[in-house]
Amino acid sequence: MSQKPKPKPSHGLAACPGCAEPLDSGDRFCGACGYDLSAVPAAETEPDRPTVAIVTPVVWPAAPPREAGSLSTATQHPGDLPGTDSGGRDLPTMAVRTDGPVPAPPGTDTPPSGTPPSGTPTSGGDFELAAPDPRTAVQVDPPGSPQPAPPAHPPQPTQPPAAAPDAAALCVACRAGRVDTDGYCENCGHAQPRERDHMEQELGSVAAVSDRGLRHHRNEDAFAVSATTLPDGSPAALAIVCDGVSSATRPDEASAAAAQAAGASLLAALPRGIHPQQAMHEAIVAAAEAVNSLAEEPGPDGAEHDPHRNSPACTIVGSVVADGLLVVGWVGDSRVYWVPDDRTTPAARLTEDDSWAAQMVAAGLMNEAEAYADERAHAITGWLGADAYELDPHTAAFKPDRSGVVVVCTDGLWNYAEGAEDMARAVPPDAAGRPLGAAQVLVGHALDGGGHDNITVALLPFTVTPPGAGSA
Amino acid sequence: MANFSKPTVPQFSVDVYQNEFLPEGGREVSAIVTVTSTGGGTSGAAGVPGYAGGGSAGVVIMVDCSGSMDYPATKMRGAREATAAAVDTLRDGTSFAVVAGTHVAKEVYPGNGGLAVADSRTRAEAKEALRSLSAGGGTAIGTWLRLADRLLSSADLAIRHGILLTDGRNEHESPEELRAALDACAGRFTCDARGVGTDWEVKEVTGIASALLGTADIVADPAGLAVDFTTMMEQAMGKGVADVVLRLWTPVGVEIGYVKQVAPTVEDLTARRTEAGPRAGDYPTGSWGDESRDYHVSVRVPQAAIGQEMLAARVSLIALDPAGGDPRPLSQGLVRAVWTDDLAMSTSINPQVAHYTGQAELADVIQQGLDARKSGDRDGATAKLGRAVQLAAASGNADTAKLLSKVVDVVDAATGTVRLKAKVAEADEMTLETRSTKTVRVKR
């Protein structure tokens, strides 16, 4: 659901006329001084473009082999291990696997003996938290403090906090009726906020926020974040983000199942010493199987298979930060961005959408501007689901040479920060230090831009521990 | 949902078919509610009395014995034989009575101001009493219904049903008197009505069936009466639960457009609402056996912002307790409204809603077309009946299409191009009018 990339922001301004703060294309007001940008020229309203799958098979022209000098991200298959570093060069043989202690042979699932090094951001109980669990949001955000530490940046998400148990009894819309067992108000009939409408989770250094947005009636996104340790005791963090395909049946269940399965698969594989990129590949396969199995069971409403609707489907994108390595994997049009802490160095998009537009550009049939201007641009060509043509998980490994944050997100966010530089501007400078707050800021950025889709973003700080003095 | 304590009580299920998505500013919500009851009546053990042990079924057969029944004499003979066949179909233990109707109502059997309980002896006695039926007198259907009501209320019955046969117009009482009798009897018993021959008034017979939640039909040839009566009695014997209402709960600010039964026949229930607590109203549905009916509910909701969702209506089936006990909820379904800016979602029409909107229009245009034809408006009749042919063909309503083809010559069914037939048998026209409300279900 990406927007077509505009040559320049719709308000035609690179910086605020009032205070010279840099602006994003979706901004309605200046983030620093509040200058009303719509007063300059009328802001272009973007139509909603839900993620849709192309149902009729398309015969694609054979893509030319990728040129060595191409700047686009290499799409790698698991057989291509060990991947490339961020410069596109081959990684040193074996240097990517866990050094130090010999990796535990497969089958020994027990954590390595000896106390993990300090800073290991995990505990035994965290292994159960792969599925997005809104209750965790309540833990992070105790009822005593109405809002988590408000970020220093103005765009604050305006969604209601997760419904407190006692508030659930009274309708949030009319404040007069009680809520019946179906989740509707007995007076005005309005649906009550559901658990998935807004979810937050923070685990050690990794955090994720998911929000229904302003235009969709339910949240069809899901995420899983976890932290674990490699066999050598070094920390590993992972994040999975899934976006349900709106045109399919039960997209919300598909995304939840995929995120849960992928997260669980990674949590099982990483401590066994399986290479993160291989583990990512297996996680996507596990997620695909979880989504496929949904197609075989009838929906919760007992509805039989409706031939007019297609199987549950979703996209998936995930990232693992472990052992100085940054691994990404995806199917569909959810993305990973790399935003270095030192903003003078370039940010990058690490994934290549499985979308019609991306395919047309890759095939050389259209240039990017033409492709993204087409109404089919946002149709995805790869997804998890029983009716997917062929599961083709893309994975890639990078070895960044500096610290930064990894932004794992659905199109609900990147619609409002499409380019890597746009995304870098939207990410708060202190994101690595407080990922949850930064994820909230990013969701707020998308809501301020219109919130046309569900928004989910997970942040994984990547820290380079230099042998000598710190360079960041 | 097994209910072992009351094995003969039907299990009700409610399915809602709708497109819940509304565009920005959209307010109209339409849904087809399919109600299916299984496990009661015919599939219950034979001879087991009605649910809750409070009594069984009672049926009163009302036979027209006006003077016109002798012209031709086959009508009176057909009516006698049909009534005898219906009596034979009575299940043991069912209470019954036979009423002879003229300008007054007269008990034929058992004749003691009450009902007889069916067994081999009473069945034989009743058939013997039928021999004495002879034609003579006028027609005042209201008096027949009031007598049937008195007889049925003389016993403690769970299911109360009437079968009414007439061959002529209701000439010996005013329409207001019939209306008053129907109002008095509505909700107290259900009644199927049949017209024999072609000298009766379609709107009178369909009006009786509609008010008393039964079926209406034409039996043009008296020889067909026995089969028809047997079928009707079998259906009456199949009823497992009476006094079921469709309860519609709507939130504050929601206006009700209409509530119609749309299958097996079109029946507008909108005006028959009785209030049932805050923001809830009951619409009568009569008694249920093993069967499935569809209802079309249309409501107008207040506007809400994109992304909002609300409950537009809650549809439930409630069994009222005639003894004044607590109503028993049987099943429920939810009609929802969700506002979206996705035009593909908000503009698509649910196939069920589209189908029954067409079926309701089909019933309307047949009625309008026949009315226009009677009043000599041939152009109007051609247009309306042409539209009817088009709708019947498009929806696969083969029975209605066949009836239409006896009234009009179909030039092109797809475009609805027809010519009025110069000569139409009266029976064919009356059959079309009587059966115009019959619908077919959408193919699933």
Contact assignment for A185 to B306 by CB distance below 8 Å: no
Per-residue pLDDT, averaged over A295-304, amounts to: 59
- Asked if B75 contacts B222 with a C-beta cutoff of 8 angstroms, the reply is yes
- Asked if B66 contacts B196 with a C-beta cutoff of 8 angstroms, the reply is no
Confidence of residue A329 (pLDDT cuts 50, 70, 90): very high
Instruction: Return the structure tokens found at B135.
Output: 């034609």
Contact assignment for A218 to B341 by CB distance below 8 Å: no
For an interface test with B, which of A172, A186, A245 has the most B Cβ atoms less than 10 Å from its Cβ? Answer: A186
- pLDDT surpasses 80 at A169: no
- More confident: A208 or A247: A208
Per-residue pLDDT, averaged over B225-236, amounts to: 91
Residues 6 or more apart whose CB falls under 8 angstroms from that of A15 comprise A21, A22, A23
**Which residues on adjacent β-strands are paired with residue B332?**
B316
Confidence of residue A455 (pLDDT cuts 50, 70, 90): very high
Instruction: Return the structure tokens found at A1.
Output: 């659901």
Confidence of residue A13 (pLDDT cuts 50, 70, 90): low
Contact assignment for B340 to A217 by CB distance below 8 Å: yes
Q: Which residues of A touch B27 (CB under 8 A)?
A: none
* Helix intervals (H) in B45-201: 74-89, 120-130, 141-152, 175-185
Confidence of residue A205 (pLDDT cuts 50, 70, 90): confident
pLDDT digits (tens, 9 = 90+) for B147-159: 999 999 998 888 9
Contact assignment for B251 to A190 by CB distance below 8 Å: yes
DSSP secondary structure code for residue A125 in this structure? G
Integer CA distances (angstroms), A139 to A107, A120, A164, A201, A402, in order: 34, 21, 12, 9, 33
CA dist., res. B410 & res. B416, Å (int): 8
- More confident: B116 or A45: B116
pLDDT digits (tens, 9 = 90+) for A49-79: 555 554 444 455 555 555 555 454 444 444 4
The distance from CA A372 to its chain's CA centroid, rounded to whole angstroms, is 21
Q: What is the SS3 assignment for A311?
A: coil
Q: For the domain B51-237, what is the CATH code?
A: 3.40.50.410
Q: How many CB atoms lie within 10 A of CB A125?
A: 7
Percentage of residues in chain A with pLDDT exceeding 70? 61
Confidence of residue A42 (pLDDT cuts 50, 70, 90): very low
Instruction: Kindly report the nearest CA distance between residue B254 and chain A, in angstroms.
Output: 9
For an interface test with A, which of B301, B342, B345, B443 has the most A Cβ atoms less than 10 Å from its Cβ? Answer: B342
CA dist., res. A335 & res. A331, Å (int): 9
Amino acid at B127: K
- Asked if A253 contacts A294 with a C-beta cutoff of 8 angstroms, the reply is yes
Predicted pLDDT at A147: 42
Nearest 10 degrees: Cα torsion B263, B268, B271, B273: 0
Q: Which of B301, B308, B311 sits opposite A217 (nearest CB)?
A: B308
Q: Which residues of A touch B350 (CB under 8 A)?
A: none
Find where tokens 């002798």 sit: B70
pTM: 0.69
CATH class for the region spanning B351-434: mainly alpha
Nearest one of B31, B102, B32 to B70, comparing CA atoms: B102
Contact assignment for B341 to A246 by CB distance below 8 Å: no
CA dist., res. A224 & res. A131, Å (int): 5
Q: Which residues of B touch A191 (CB under 8 A)?
A: 308-311
- Asked if A264 contacts A130 with a C-beta cutoff of 8 angstroms, the reply is yes
Contact assignment for A184 to B310 by CB distance below 8 Å: yes
Which residue does chain B place closest to A307, by CA atoms?
B444
DSSP secondary structure code for residue A114 in this structure? S
pLDDT digits (tens, 9 = 90+) for B77-88: 999 999 999 999
- pLDDT surpasses 90 at B299: yes
Q: Which residues of B touch A218 (CB under 8 A)?
A: 309
Q: Which residues of B touch A48 (CB under 8 A)?
A: 341-342
Nearest one of B224, B154, B147, B250 to B191, comparing CA atoms: B147
Strands in B291-300's sheet, in edge-to-edge order, are B11-18, B28-38, B291-300, B255-263, B267-268
User: What domains does chain A contain, in order, with CATH numbers?
Assistant: 1-45 (no CATH), 52-106+115-159+196-462 (3.60.40.10)
Q: Which residues of A touch B342 (CB under 8 A)?
A: 48, 50, 246
- Asked if A130 contacts A224 with a C-beta cutoff of 8 angstroms, the reply is yes
pLDDT digits (tens, 9 = 90+) for B398-419: 999 999 999 999 999 999 999 9
Predicted pLDDT at B50: 37
Which residue does chain B place closest to A451, by CA atoms?
B307
CA dist., res. A186 & res. A250, Å (int): 26
Instruction: Kindly report the nearest CA distance between residue A396 and chain B, in angstroms.
Output: 35
- Asked if A178 contacts A171 with a C-beta cutoff of 8 angstroms, the reply is yes
Instruction: Kindly report the nearest CA distance between residue B340 and chain A, in angstroms.
Output: 7
- pLDDT surpasses 70 at B393: yes
Which residue does chain B place closest to A191, by CA atoms?
B310
Task: Give the E-state strand segments of A358-464 in sequence order.
Answer: 379-380, 384-385, 394-398, 404-409, 455-462
Instruction: Return the structure tokens found at A359.
Output: 């395919």
- pLDDT surpasses 80 at A92: no
Q: Which residues of A touch B309 (CB under 8 A)?
A: 190-191, 217-218
CA dist., res. A215 & res. A229, Å (int): 39
Per-residue pLDDT, averaged over A315-343, amounts to: 94
CA dist., res. A229 & res. A202, Å (int): 17
- pLDDT surpasses 90 at B124: yes
Query: Looking at the domain B11-40+242-347, which fold is it?
Result: Immunoglobulin-like (2.60.40)
Q: Which of A50, A182, A187 sits opposite B251 (nearest CB)?
A: A187
Confidence of residue A468 (pLDDT cuts 50, 70, 90): low
CA dist., res. A444 & res. A420, Å (int): 18
- pLDDT surpasses 50 at B219: yes
H or E element in which residue A124 lies: none
Q: Which residues of A touch B277 (CB under 8 A)?
A: none
The alpha-carbon radius of gyration of chain A (Å, integer) is: 22
Per-residue pLDDT, averaged over B109-129, amounts to: 93
- Asked if A188 contacts A204 with a C-beta cutoff of 8 angstroms, the reply is no
- pLDDT surpasses 50 at A123: no
**Which residues on adjacent β-strands are paired with residue B339?**
B22
Task: Give the E-state strand segments of B323-403 in sequence order.
Answer: 328-339
CA dist., res. A431 & res. B109, Å (int): 92
Instruction: Return the structure tokens found at A170.
Output: 């009274």
Q: What is the SS3 assignment for B361?
A: helix
Instruction: Kindly report the nearest CA distance between residue B309 and chain A, in angstroms.
Output: 5
CA dist., res. A157 & res. A168, Å (int): 21
- pLDDT surpasses 50 at A302: no
Instruction: Return the structure tokens found at A465.
Output: 């521990």
Which residue does chain B place closest to A50, by CA atoms?
B342
Q: Across all residues in chain A, what is the average pLDDT?
A: 74
> CA angle at residue A281 from A278 to A283, to 5 degrees?
110
CA dist., res. A314 & res. A245, Å (int): 5
Confidence of residue A36 (pLDDT cuts 50, 70, 90): low
Q: Which residues of B touch A217 (CB under 8 A)?
A: 307-309, 338-340
Q: Which of B307, B312, B339 sits opposite A189 (nearest CB)?
A: B312
Which residue does chain A place closest to B344, by CA atoms?
A247
- pLDDT surpasses 80 at B431: yes
CA dist., res. B115 & res. B111, Å (int): 8
Contact assignment for A246 to B342 by CB distance below 8 Å: yes
- pLDDT surpasses 80 at A298: no
Per-residue pLDDT, averaged over B211-221, amounts to: 92
Q: Where do the CATH 2.60.40.3670 domains begin and end in chain B?
A: 11-40+242-347
Q: What is the SS3 assignment for A268?
A: helix
The distance from CA A234 to its chain's CA centroid, rounded to whole angstroms, is 24
Q: Which residues of A touch B306 (CB under 8 A)?
A: 214-215
Q: Which of B250, B306, B310 sits opposite A191 (nearest CB)?
A: B310
**Alpha-carbon dihedral sign for residues B367, B370, B375, B380:** positive
Q: Which residues of B touch A53 (CB under 8 A)?
A: none
Q: What is the SS3 assignment for A40?
A: coil
Confidence of residue B141 (pLDDT cuts 50, 70, 90): very high
Which residue does chain A place closest to B303, by CA atoms?
A190
- pLDDT surpasses 60 at A158: no
Q: Which of A187, A191, A216 sits opposite B252 (nearest CB)?
A: A187
Q: Where do the CATH 3.40.50.410 domains begin and end in chain B?
A: 51-237
Residue B88 burial (CB < 10 Å; 0-12/13-18/19+)?
middle
| Pairing state between β B267-268 and B190-196 | unpaired
Contact assignment for A217 to B254 by CB distance below 8 Å: no
Predicted pLDDT at A199: 92
Instruction: Kindly report the nearest CA distance between residue B64 and chain A, in angstroms.
Output: 49
Per-residue pLDDT, averaged over B330-348, amounts to: 90
Predicted pLDDT at A363: 86
CB pairs under 8 A between A and B: 58
| Pairing state between β B280-288 and A313-322 | unpaired
- Asked if A198 contacts A210 with a C-beta cutoff of 8 angstroms, the reply is yes
CA dist., res. B122 & res. B371, Å (int): 46
Predicted pLDDT at A339: 94
Nearest one of B1, B73, B74, B75 to B39, comparing CA atoms: B1
Predicted pLDDT at B244: 92
